[in-house]
Amino acid sequence: MIKITLPLTEEAVKNLHAGDRVLLSGDIYTGRDAAHKRIVEAIRCGTTLPFPLQNSTVYYVGACPPKGDLATASCGPTTSFRMSPYAPTLIKNGQRGIIGKGSMSEEVRNALIEHTAVYFAAIGGAGGLYAQCVTDAEILAYEDLGTEAIRRFTVKDFPVVVAYDCHGKSVYE
């Protein structure tokens, strides 16, 4: 098991290989389709982004509200392919990591290689497990999107697997 403290660095990404099991600790940002569309539009217009993209890791999730002593009641990954139209733009602008489930487009894989980034797979149906790894959650932008608003999650030992590495390898092949 590889332990990584976020934000991701280029060196850390270069040392990861498809199939590696990783525990992430630090800040990740959440977002799905509608939020990604807004972020890409903000990049195109040159307006302020809701979080710094440089070396960031974005989790494709619609997080549930807090429950009891949990920062989020559940936060299981959503299907990543839906973010394929947006991911290359974010990666080109500094995003270093993606967390989601399932395969992504060839354009995303090429962007990961070109810009030294990584795609981590999370386990679908394990939202309760992942919620236990979230120590803090804060809405940063697009609150009107409800569960799909951009959030900053602080995570501890968040378990993922390298699905696509920056060397062109994939666990899906």
pLDDT of 73 reads 86
**Are 138 and 110 contacting, i.e. CB atoms less than 8 angstroms apart?**
no
The fold of the 2-164 domain, in CATH, is: fumarase (3.20.130)
pLDDT of 113 reads 98
Dmax (CA) for the chain in angstroms is 43
Does 52 have pLDDT greater than 90?
A: yes
The pTM of the full predicted model, rounded to 2 decimals, is 0.95
Q: Which of 12-16, 35-39, 62-66 has the lowest mean pLDDT?
A: 62-66
